[in-house]
Amino acid sequence: MVYFDDGTSKKRRGLYRKNRPYWLLYLLIGIALGAFLFAVALPKIVETNWLPYQFYVIPEQEEASDQGADQTTNHAEMLNRLTPVNVDISTQVTAIVEDVIPAVVGVENIQTQSFNFWEQEAYDGGTGSGVIYRQEGDRAYIVTNHHVIEGASQIEVILEDGTRLMAELKGSDMFTDLAVLEIDASEVDVVIEFGNSELTKVGEPVIAIGNPLGLDLSGSVTQGIISGTQRAIPQDFSGDGRADWQTEVIQTDAAINPGNSGGALINMSGQLIGINSMKIAESAVEGIGFAIPIDEAIPVMQELEETGQMTRAFLGVEAYSLTDIPQTEWRRSLELPNDVDGGIYIQSVEPFSPADEAGLETYDVITELDGDPIYTIVDLRKHLYQEKQPGQEMEITYYRDGERNKTTVELSTQ
């Protein structure tokens, strides 16, 4: 029994009896209101499409005694009134892969080790992927990564059906990590179509095709999105811990593993927008892969195919970033004024080079090239390799003994 705070129960029972008719009245009003909402208000709301979901009304059979064929007919009519959900197993992705995958090949790096004049041993220097991008007459051309074929004595290309063809290396470039191979085109059926990597957007779905972990998993397909564009990834070619170059890449979360290098990054139109190149391989990192944008790769591929190497402008200096030395030395040893906040200092000048002929000396500090600020050796190389051509002139702003100077050099061929 429930009591009030004063311990009595008599008042409690009297109050309950007294208010009982009101509770019955509230109950009847609630039932009537609920019936009204269900019978009148809800259909009106459904008709106005205010609800975030759809109602489907299944009609009752008019005569309960009609069964058999009539029941089957009514059931079919009822289903026809519903909106069907169609699931097409043959999706756009499968169609794209079916069309494109014959153009993605395996690339095997065969290296030879000599023990003496008489004994030699060939061994597998690694496998990667490549993409058939052009066919002319009886020859076909494949793009892959420089690091896939680096050090190879022989290169074999493995087609989708397992056919092995010997490939000729037309040329490769370490800075862009690209290489071009040439093969017999008699077995080639599909050539990939180029897309426009400059039009790619973050969040756009993409497909990566290659041979992860070797040829046993050839033709593997992974799907993801564009995670970022115009990423700059530092590269250390000399192994001295300093960045020698910065590669501009597309970032994707499509799985890229060892062996995928040189494979294709495809958009949803089945076009090649990138050459899979690298990934960040750390235990705490997942889903960060990179591809060389096809718009950046095409000029390199054309020059490698035609000349076998990249022709770049040459200055003739060994230089390092000011950030590699303490700022106290900026003022004390290099005598730089306080308004200089970055640049590169010259460690040595190659004799008879454009820099030597222009009068540059050891410990000169370069701060601008053609009026553009320079902070690292990567900035210098990118300006030389992407903005200038051999034979062109370049204006250099530099400091020597605390004084600001300018000189003009005529660049030669590297």
Return the structure tokens found at 296: 């950046």
- Residue 75: active-site member: no
Tokens 């052009």 locate to: 134
The sign of the torsion formed by the CA atoms of 117, 121, 125, 130 equals positive
**Rounded Cα distance, 302 and 294, in Å:** 12
Strand partners, 348: 318
- DSSP state string for 121-146: EEEEEEEEEEEEEEEETTEEEEEE-H
Catalytic residue among 129, 147, 197, 277: 147
**Rounded Cα distance, 128 and 276, in Å:** 10
Catalytic residue among 218, 261, 277, 321: 261
Catalytic residue among 129, 177, 197, 364: 177
Look at residue 405 and give its three-state secondary structure: strand
Q: Which amino acid is at 285?
A: V
Torsion of CA 210, 93, 176, 183, to 10 degrees: 60
The sign of the torsion formed by the CA atoms of 34, 35, 41, 44 equals positive
397: closest CA among 374, 376, 368?
Answer: 368
Tokens 């306080």 locate to: 338
CB 329 within 8 A of CB 296: no
CB 265 within 8 A of CB 150: no
**Rounded Cα distance, 356 and 213, in Å:** 48
CB 198 within 8 A of CB 176: no
Q: Which amino acid is at 9?
A: S
SS3 content of the chain, % helix, strand, coil (to 5): 25, 35, 40
**Rounded Cα distance, 313 and 412, in Å:** 6
- Residue 147: active-site member: yes
- DSSP state string for 16-76: HHHHHHHHHHHHHHHHHHHHHIIIIIHHHHHHTT-SSS---PPPPPS-TT--THHHHHHHH
Catalogue the long-range contacts made by 59-64 (C-beta closer than 8 Å, 24 or more residues apart). Answer: none
**Rounded Cα distance, 168 and 190, in Å:** 19
Give catalytic residue positions: 147, 177, 261
